[in-house]
């Protein structure tokens, strides 16, 4: 079993418009609302691939029934910690051209007692698990070093997907796996990540700093990874992309499942990239179908890189 610490739950809203024109009135062609947040996306992917998963996160009273019902149907054991403040909303505006603009609300501080319960519940379920994933922004009140401390204190394989100060703290803590995207890696190092060579250099630098599995996602260009056995790039071109939001989270879910099944990093990247692409081809944010993943996985190109 994998435990996912995705504390900062959200409501994902996807709205379709013809074209986004700032300062004008738009009429939505369609709208969809579902449980969201990076933890939800990662956990749903792990469950879709057939591995037991427990998700620990906040949920307010207004959305408790919806979260519980939807995630149970998806095979996710959601261990909700009651939030005394409303969940944040994550709005994705999709134009007819396929371009997506995201507007992410900042969450409110749930309070010291709630933060303590989140930590306790996560640690309890981690003790029952084979691996731990710490993903997404932390609710206000948590300090930036929280993920790094959790990683240092657990004997489990621990994957971290964070940004900003939390990513910097994690990178200094030599976690088992670290997965920034290109923009997050550029912010971490203070230098652009504009090419495959740049990305491979970042992954090598993170591995040299003690990150056992250093993985960078590159959007449509796939991903690069470095571990003790070498370096790889994995990529897949797909037509008919509908919704790329959450693809990095689905990538991480697939990567963790493959690594927990003791697949090589090259094979793990193949599954991870297939999961990211499967999400991009669907309408729903942060969700994959196993048959789609299975169809895409053999098409993923994985090549070794010179270390």
SS (H, E, C) 23-86: CCCCCCCEEEEEEECHHHHHHHHHHHCCCCEEEEEEECHHHHHHHHHHHHHCCCEEEEEECCCC
Look up the CATH number of the domain holding residue 111.
3.40.1190.20
Q: Is 237 helix (H, G, I), strand (E, B) or coil?
A: coil
* Domain interval for residue 285: 2-305
Distance (Å, whole) CA 201 – CA 68: 42
- Which helix H or strand E contains 232, and what residues bound it? strand 230-235
- Looking at residue 181, the DSSP 8-state letter turns out to be B
- Name every residue whose Cβ is closer than 8 Å to that of residue 127 and which is 6 or more positions away in sequence: none
pLDDT digit string (tens) for the chain, length 307 residues: 999 999 999 998 889 899 999 899 988 887 778 899 999 999 999 999 999 999 999 999 999 999 999 999 999 999 999 999 999 998 889 888 889 899 988 899 999 999 999 999 999 999 999 999 999 999 999 999 999 999 999 999 999 999 999 999 999 999 999 999 999 999 998 888 988 899 999 999 999 999 999 999 999 899 999 999 999 999 999 999 988 999 999 999 999 999 999 999 999 999 999 999 999 999 898 999 999 999 999 999 999 997 5
Distance (Å, whole) CA 218 – CA 241: 16
| pTM score of the predicted model | 0.94
Number of domains in the chain: 1
């Amino acid at each position: 079993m994998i435990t996912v610490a995705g504390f900062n739950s959200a409501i994902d809203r996807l709205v379709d418009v013809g074209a986004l024109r700032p300062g004008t009135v738009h009429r939505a062609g369609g709208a969809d609302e579902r449980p969201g947040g990076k933890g939800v996306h990662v956990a749903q992917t792990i469950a879709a691939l057939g591995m037991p998963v427990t998700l620990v996160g906040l949920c307010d009273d207004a959305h408790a029934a919806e979260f519980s019902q939807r995630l149970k149907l998806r095979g996710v054991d959601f261990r909700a910690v009651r939030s005394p403040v409303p969940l944040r909303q994550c709005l994705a505006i999709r134009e007819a051209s396929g371009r997506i603009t995201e507007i992410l609300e900042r969450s409110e501080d749930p309070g010291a007692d709630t933060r303590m319960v989140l930590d306790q519940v996560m640690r309890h379920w981690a003790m029952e698990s084979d691996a731990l994933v710490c993903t997404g922004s932390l609710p206000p009140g948590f300090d930036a070093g929280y993920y790094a401390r959790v990683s240092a204190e657990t004997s489990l394989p621990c994957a971290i997907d964070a940004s900003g100060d939390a990513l910097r703290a994690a990178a200094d803590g030599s976690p088992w796996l670290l997965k920034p995207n290109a923009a997050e890696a550029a912010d971490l190092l203070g230098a652009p990540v504009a090419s495959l060579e740049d990305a491979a250099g970042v992954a090598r630098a993170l591995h040299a700093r003690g990150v056992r599995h250093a993985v960078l996602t590159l959007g449509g260009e796939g991903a690069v990874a470095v571990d003790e056995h070498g370096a790889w790039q994995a990529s897949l071109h797909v037509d008919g992309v509908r919704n790329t939001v959450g693809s990095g989270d689905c990538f991480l879910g697939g990567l963790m499942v493959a690594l927990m099944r003791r697949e090589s990093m090259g094979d793990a990247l193949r599954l991870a990239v297939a999961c990211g692409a499967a999400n991009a081809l669907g309408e729903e944010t942060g969700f994959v179908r196993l048959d789609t993943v299975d169809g895409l996985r053999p098409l993923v190109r994985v090549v070794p890189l010179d270390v």
